[in-house]
Amino acid sequence: MTEVIEGWGAVVETFGARIQGAYGVGGETHGPLHITDALTPEDRGKILVVDAPAGAALLQRAAAAGVAGLILGGLPDADLAAFLGEELDPSVSGAQTSAMTIVLTEGFGRLAIAGPTLRLLKNFEGAEASLSGHTHIRAGTVRPEIILARTPSRLPAAAAAAPEPAPPVGRRIRILRGPEAWKIARVAAAPKAPQTIDTESPVRVFDALLEDGRICRVPRANVEFLEAPAKISKI
């Protein structure tokens, strides 16, 4: 808590990171973050990151072990439905009853966690993590979220110093919505003035250089930054 506003509330600040997933199930939960490829009795109450092929058997073992939450790259939709005991709606979740919260960072299928996302998660090994699996892909989009918090004393010195935000050009991003959703790109340009997009709305945008060399224009609200600045020629 950094400030108390008399008669109104308080200002609470923390150091951390926020990751949006592709799909999730389960409500809000929290626990220490642990990167692993094998379940143990000590994993009860933890948020586990498993960057390996996963199926219904892994979900059952994790639930039986009392794991609070599971972060995976991807999972076959049939396996997730088998674990939940009901059919999935790929555009919305929240009605299902799940023994733990599950967040898929990439989507359905046997998919690995994207490299920049996995590196970020590894930087927060042992830190407190909060998960929400709620997903709503229709109007009023809501994505599953991973919130990672850490006290300044446990941050690298550069991060604890809270430097000014880096210029966006050259930074690696993931596109969250639209025709290029979930693709990795770099910011090629960041126009200062709002630009008119296909919906005829004026919004602030990035011109994103995709890995295949194409450039697409995306609203800034529809991307997440994955890592520190890098030269745009290296994708």
pLDDT at 7: 86
Res. 152: pLDDT tops 80: no
pLDDT at 39: 87
| Selection from 59, 41, 123 nearest residue 50 by Cα | 59
pLDDT at 228: 47
- Is residue 222 within 8 A of residue 177, CB to CB? The reply is yes
Burial letters for 164-192: b for 16+ Cβ neighbours within 10 Å, e otherwise?
A: eeeebebbbbbbbeeebeebbbbbbeeee
Res. 35: pLDDT tops 90: yes
Identify the three-state secondary structure at position 156: coil
- Is residue 110 within 8 A of residue 56, CB to CB? The reply is no
| Domain segments of the chain as ranges | 11-154, 172-225
| 106 burial via Cβ count (<10 Å: 0-12, 13-18, 19+) | buried
Amino acid, res. 196: T
Task: Please say whether the dihedral angle defined by the alpha carbons of residues 102, 72, 84 and 25, taken in this order, is positive or negative.
Answer: positive
Res. 59: pLDDT tops 60: yes
pLDDT at 160: 43
pLDDT at 138: 67
